[in-house]
Amino acid sequence: MSLVVPAVLPASEKDLDDKLAFFASLSAVARVQIDIVDGKFASPASWPYRAPREIESRIDRGELLPHLDRFEYEIDFMCLDAEEAAGQWLPLGATRLTFHAESAGDLPRLLASVRGRYGDFISFGLALNVASDLALVEQNLGGIEYVQFMGIARIGQQGAPFDERVFEKVRIFRSRHPEVPIQVDGGVSLDNAKKLVALGVSKLVVGSAILRASDPLAAVADLEALQMPFGV
Residues 86, 92, 208, 177, Cα dihedral to 10°: 50
* Angle (nearest 5°) at CA 40 between 17 and 211: 35
Residues in Cβ contact with 44 at an 8 Å cutoff, skipping those fewer than 6 apart: 37, 156, 157
CA torsion, ordered 211, 216, 220, 223, to nearest 10 deg: -80
pLDDT tens figures, 88-131: 999 999 999 999 999 998 999 999 999 898 877 899 999 999 99
**Contact between 162 and 187 (Cβ < 8 Å):** yes
pTM: 0.95
Q: What's the rounded Cα separation, in Å, for the pair 37 and 80?
A: 9
Q: Give the tens place of pLDDT for each residue, 161-211.
A: 999 999 999 999 999 999 999 999 999 999 999 999 999 999 999 999 999
C-alpha to C-alpha distance for 225 and 45, rounded to whole angstroms: 34
Whole-number pLDDT of residue 228? 59
The DSSP element (H or E) to which 172 belongs, if any, is helix 165-176
Distances (CA, A) of 175 to 17, 148, 229: 39, 16, 16
Q: What is the arithmetic mean of pLDDT over 45-74?
A: 96
Q: Are 188 and 205 in contact (CB under 8 A)?
A: yes
**Domains of the chain from N-terminus onward:** 4-224 (3.20.20.70)
**Banded model confidence at residue 230, pLDDT cuts 50, 70, 90:** very low
Please tell me whether residue 143 adopts helix, strand or coil conformation: helix
pLDDT digits (tens, 9 = 90+) for 137-161: 999 999 899 999 999 999 998 888 9
